[in-house]
Structure 1
Amino acid sequence: MTPTPPDTVGTEDTRLIVVRGNSASGKSSVATGLREQFGRNLAIIGQDNLRRTVLRERDRPGGANIGLIDLTARYALVHAHRGVSRCYYLDVPYAETVRRHATKPDAEYLTHVTPAHLSDWYREEDLLPDEFESVIGASSTLDDTIQQILRESGLDRVPPVDR
């Protein structure tokens, strides 16, 4: 058996799933759905929560949230992760992000984050280099997206812990 370097984490059985996309593309809904389908023992690291709630920081290049996301993700099995890693990009057109944004239940949030903000933040096809991500289009339903990620990551074959 090959010795494991001391800075690796996880096992061949652990999973890391990254879901990226523009604001209001459905990232939080997908993460919530994955947890509902899989159960406990699944960490969700939300950039907005760390940036806006924990740090109360505006979105800016080089912000403290970047380091906090890095530390949090490493703690939850990212750094030198030995298991299966998958990255997904939710490719949702701007008009659809505005429609989805309007359905958010937090009325106060909707008054602070307007379609004008979404337009400023929106980056069409904001993909990582080297075809690192699987692209999921807007035509994929929430359930289809969740099932695709569970299947491709192998989480559908991992027994959940303490449902």
Structure 2
Amino acid sequence: MREHDRAGAPNVGLIDQTARYALDHGYHVILEGILYSPTYGAMVRQLIADHAGLTGVYYFQLPFEETVRRHAGRPLAKVVTPQQMRECYQDCDLLGVPGEQVIDKSSSLDETVERIIGDLAWVAGGEIAHALEE
């Protein structure tokens, strides 16, 4: 939708409805993105509170320089400049929900994926790990 981060924008409700629809129909949902807490926090916290199933909350704590480095390899880098990123960058923008985990820049992609799958599989009694093997 290319909406800017502002409370009450239609993208906030659309994300909420899409995630709820998928969860209500038995899908696993990964809600990922730069979800600025003052804009998206209340919606995400309510989504977590309302979800009866397994929920994992992870925050990627990256310094601004690392964020810019990773962004440079994406197609959106041609549209969004580092100066624009600096305007909306928030350091340590946690949700403050129970069980929220911080992953820092030292964690590789493989390590991060293994950690999250391991956490979810442990809590779910191995159901997720089994589903991924199939």
Q: TM-score, normalised by structure 1?
A: 0.58
- Unpaired runs of at least 5, structure 2: 25-46
Q: Looking at CA atoms only, which structure, 1 or 2, has the larger radius of gyration?
A: 1
AA aligned to 1:60 is R
- Secondary structure at 2:94 match in 1: coil
Partner of 2:131: 160
Determine which structure has greater relative contact order: mean sequence separation of CA pairs < 8 Å that are 6+ residues apart, divided by chain length. 1
Q: Displacement of 1:130 after TM fit?
A: 4.7
Partner of 2:107: 140
AA aligned to 1:123 is Q
* Structure in which a larger fraction of residues adopt strand: 1
* Aligned partners of 1:86 and 1:153 also within 8 Å: yes
Q: CA RMSD in A?
A: 2.4
Which among 89, 92, 107 is matched to residue 59 of structure 2?
89
* Structure in which a larger fraction of residues adopt helix: 2
Q: Displacement of 1:83 after TM fit?
A: 1.9
- Residue by residue over 1:16-62, the C-alpha shift from the partner in whole angstroms, topping out at 9 and shown as x without a partner, is xxxxxxxxxxxxxxxxxxxxxxxxxxxxxxxxxxx33xxxx333222
> Which stretches of structure 1, 4 residues or longer, exceed 4 Å deviation after superposition?
none
- Secondary structure at 2:131 match in 1: coil
Q: CA 1:68 to 1:130, structure 2 compared with 1: closer, same or farther past 3 Å?
A: closer
* Aligned partners of 1:150 and 1:156 also within 8 Å: no
AA aligned to 1:92 is L
Alignment partners' CA distance in 1, 2:133 and 2:6? 39
Aligned residue runs from structure 1 range 110-149, under 5 A? 110-130=77-97, 132-149=99-116
Matched, 1:71 2:17: yes
Q: Displacement of 1:133 after TM fit?
A: 1.3
Paired positions, count = 106
- Secondary structure at 2:60 match in 1: strand
The sequence identity of aligned pairs, in percent, is: 42
Alignment partners' CA distance in 1, 2:125 and 2:73? 29
- Secondary structure at 1:84 match in 2: coil
Partner of 1:28: none
